[in-house]
Structure 1
Amino acid sequence: MSTIKDVAKEANVSIATVSRVINKSPKASKASIESVTLAMKKLGYRPNAAARALVSQSTQTMGVLVGDVSDPFFGSMVKAIDTIACQKGKHLLIGNGYHSAKKEREVIELLINNRCESLVIHSKSLSSEELLSFAREAPGMVLINRFIPEISDRCIALDNHRGSYLATELLVKNGHKHIGYICSNHDIEDTHQRKAGYLQALQDNDLIASETYIEYGSPDEEGGERAMTNLLAKGLPITAIAAYNDHMAAGTLSVLEENNFTIPTDISIIGFDNSLISKYLNPKLTTVRYPIQMMAEKAACLALKLANNIEAKPDTTIFAPTLVKRSSVRNIT
């Protein structure tokens, strides 16, 4: 493998000149740039990224922590961040945390050790204290879908409680009094906030808010199937279901169809997130819009500014969910 010394010898220049060309120094002459570029091409030499970062104090890399990049939700998030990164000439380094404190910690440490100046972090398992410690170490770190009061101006989050409240309230307004809830079994703030929003909407409308009407599963189609199967086994007079997310709603819909329920004639369903799947279910799923693309763009822009020591405060830190009315909810009044 060729070295910088080999390039200098081939181009008949000094090692310092090669270094200036590699690091795009304004002191490099046009002739030097041409000769060094030709020499590198001939020898197949690629500059060491870590070494260049030490000289330029920049890796031109933005770090991103997601739960699981195979999840369409995180795919949308990463795409939005990448759009902003590309506009600024940055590349992404992405790690999966899988909602594990150990994995999330390892990814954040990896991103910082790889000299990512700006970071967009989706962490659900690390404590607020540990995230605050990382934030002190990395000035360009922004949290998405997480709110910590001490660094509120570096957090971009959604009002999950409000979103679930809106979803349940819509069912109530359509005449439903016996409303079940398909809940995630992940012990994260999203789960607790959305469940609390469901219960609060029932209480505010003088309806039964009982744990009997709630079943749990993994936040995917399979979890939704399992939770709905258990809920049906209780024989409750349910006329509507609010689900933790659209994927659990899809699993719920599948189980109901297998048991000869017609949606929404027999049971209405509402999801959460407005993910791609919601538009292609039959019937099309009424849900709650989660503006993840907008939030991710805001988080990326903020992280880039903070990494460049530009004082910045987002105009919005807590985003508001909105309803998306489709065909899976029926008025029974």
Structure 2
Amino acid sequence: MVTINDVAKAAQVSTATVSRVVNNGPKVGAKTRQRVLDVMEQLGYRPNANARALASQRSTTLGVVIPELTDPFFASLANGVEVVARNNGMQLLLSTGLQSAETERQAIQLLIEQRCEALVVHSKKLDDATLLEFASQVPGLILIDRYIPAIKNRCIWLDNMEGGRIAARYLLSLQHTQIACINSLHEIDDPRLRQEGFEQILSESGHPLSDQLTVRNEPTLKGGELAAQQLLARDTPFSCVFAYNDAMAIGAISVFEDNGFKVPGDISVVGFDDVLISRYSRPKLTTLHYPIQEMAESAATLALQFNGSESTESTKCKYIPTLVKRESVSPEQA
């Protein structure tokens, strides 16, 4: 492996001069600079990113913590951060929290140890106090899909409760009154807030959500299948379902169809997130659009602003989901 000493020897200069060239420092003549650059190219020398960061006092990495790699939702989040990193000539460092408080803590600590001074963190398991402690250590730490009032200007979040309200208003507008809810069993804010908003509108309309028509399971395709089987087994009539996310909605649709129910003819289904698969399911899924990539890009940009790498400007912090009407919902049959 070619070292800075090799470059200095071949170019007949000191290692300090090579370092100045690498970091665009002053006090290097044009001819000397070009000679060093030519030697670097000939030898295939690649400067160490950490060494450059130490010399320039500027981190060259942008970190992101997500729960897992396989979920398309979190892949979109990571992609949004990567776009900003690439546009700013930085490298992306990614770590996963694996839906565990201790693993989330370790993931954040690892990125800090790697000198990531700009961090986008998706954390649902760590408590507010722990995240506030990390935020005090790293000015460029931004939370996504999490709201903590004490650092509200460093939080990019979705109004999940309003998303539930939007879904309820839409189904009621189509004359649905026998309404079921398939929710995630994870003890985090998102499922609780979505259902609270949904129930609020139903109660105000005089059609409160029945406990018999509320089921919880894993927020996956399989979880949606199991939840739909639970609903059908309870033998309580329902004409539509609001699902926690698109995966659960699509899993539920497969069970309804397998049991002789047409979607949306017999049962209408609304999802949440608007991940790619929702556009290609059959029927195409009506859902609430969660602008996760846009939010991730905003969070990454904000992380750089708080880290002093960019001038601070106003950033949108709260996002509202929008209804995407496709083919899985129809008016209640008279």
User: What is the TM-score of this pair, normalised by structure 1?
Assistant: 0.94
Distance 2:99 2:29 in 1: 51
Work out whether residues 122 and 146 of structure 1, in 8 Å CA contact, stay in contact via their aligned partners in 2: yes
Work out whether residues 154 and 313 of structure 1, in 8 Å CA contact, stay in contact via their aligned partners in 2: no
Partner of 2:182: 182
Q: Give the 3-state SS of the residue equivalent to 1:283 in structure 2.
A: coil
Partner of 1:60: 60
User: What letter corresponds to residue 320 of structure 1 in structure 2?
Assistant: I
Q: Give the 3-state SS of the residue equivalent to 1:146 in structure 2.
A: coil
Distance 2:266 2:190 in 1: 29
Corresponding position: 1:51 with 2:51? yes
Distance 2:46 2:282 in 1: 53
Distance 1:82 1:320 in 2: 23
Q: Which runs of 5+ in 2 are unaligned?
A: none
User: What letter corresponds to residue 68 of structure 2 in structure 1?
Assistant: D
Partner of 2:263: 263
Per-residue CA deviation, residues 144-201 of structure 1 (Å, 9 max, x unaligned), is 1110000001111011011012112211221121111111111111111112122222
Distance 2:187 2:27 in 1: 56
Distance 1:65 1:317 in 2: 19
Q: Which runs of 5+ in 1 are unaligned?
A: none
Work out whether residues 142 and 299 of structure 2, in 8 Å CA contact, stay in contact via their aligned partners in 1: yes
Partner of 1:28: 28
Give the C-alpha shift of residue 38 in structure 1.
3.6
Identity %: 46
Partner of 1:164: 164
User: What is the TM-score of this pair, normalised by structure 2?
Assistant: 0.94
Corresponding position: 1:272 with 2:272? yes
Partner of 1:251: 251
Change (3 A) 1:271 1:150: same
Partner of 2:231: 231
Partner of 1:283: 283
User: What letter corresponds to residue 25 of structure 2 in structure 1?
Assistant: S
Distance 1:282 1:134 in 2: 44
Q: Does 30-39 or 218-227 show the bigger shift?
A: 30-39
Distance 2:79 2:58 in 1: 23
Distance 1:33 1:291 in 2: 46
Per-residue CA deviation, residues 227-281 of structure 1 (Å, 9 max, x unaligned), is 1111111111111100001111000001111101101111110111111111111
Q: Does 252-261 or 113-122 show the bigger shift?
A: 113-122
Work out whether residues 153 and 313 of structure 1, in 8 Å CA contact, stay in contact via their aligned partners in 2: no
Q: Does 318-327 or 240-249 show the bigger shift?
A: 318-327
Q: Give the 3-state SS of the residue equivalent to 1:16 in structure 2.
A: helix
Distance 1:110 1:88 in 2: 22
Partner of 2:330: 330
User: What letter corresponds to residue 23 of structure 1 in structure 2?
Assistant: N
Q: Give the 3-state SS of the residue equivalent to 2:255 in structure 1.
A: helix
Distance 1:315 1:2 in 2: 43
Distance 2:48 2:277 in 1: 43
Distance 1:302 1:271 in 2: 30
Q: Does 239-248 or 14-23 show the bigger shift?
A: 14-23
Distance 1:160 1:291 in 2: 12
Distance 1:16 1:295 in 2: 42
Q: How many residue pairs are counted as aligned between the two chains?
A: 333
Give the C-alpha shift of residue 212 in structure 1.
2.0
Q: Does 239-248 or 174-183 show the bigger shift?
A: 174-183
Q: Give the 3-state SS of the residue equivalent to 1:17 in structure 2.
A: helix
Distance 2:191 2:314 in 1: 25
Work out whether residues 298 and 315 of structure 2, in 8 Å CA contact, stay in contact via their aligned partners in 1: no
Q: Does 207-216 or 140-149 show the bigger shift?
A: 207-216
Corresponding position: 1:89 with 2:99? no
Q: Does 39-48 or 141-150 show the bigger shift?
A: 39-48
Q: Does 126-135 or 205-214 show the bigger shift?
A: 205-214
Distance 2:31 2:239 in 1: 78
User: What letter corresponds to residue 117 of structure 1 in structure 2?
Assistant: E
Distance 2:292 2:6 in 1: 49
How large is the Cα RMSD of the aligned pairs?
Answer: 1.8
Per-residue CA deviation, residues 12-46 of structure 1 (Å, 9 max, x unaligned), is 11121121122221322233233323433444443
User: What letter corresponds to residue 110 of structure 1 in structure 2?
Assistant: L
User: What letter corresponds to residue 59 of structure 2 in structure 1?
Assistant: T
Per-residue CA deviation, residues 44-84 of structure 1 (Å, 9 max, x unaligned), is 44322222221111232111111223221122222222222
Work out whether residues 65 and 95 of structure 2, in 8 Å CA contact, stay in contact via their aligned partners in 1: yes
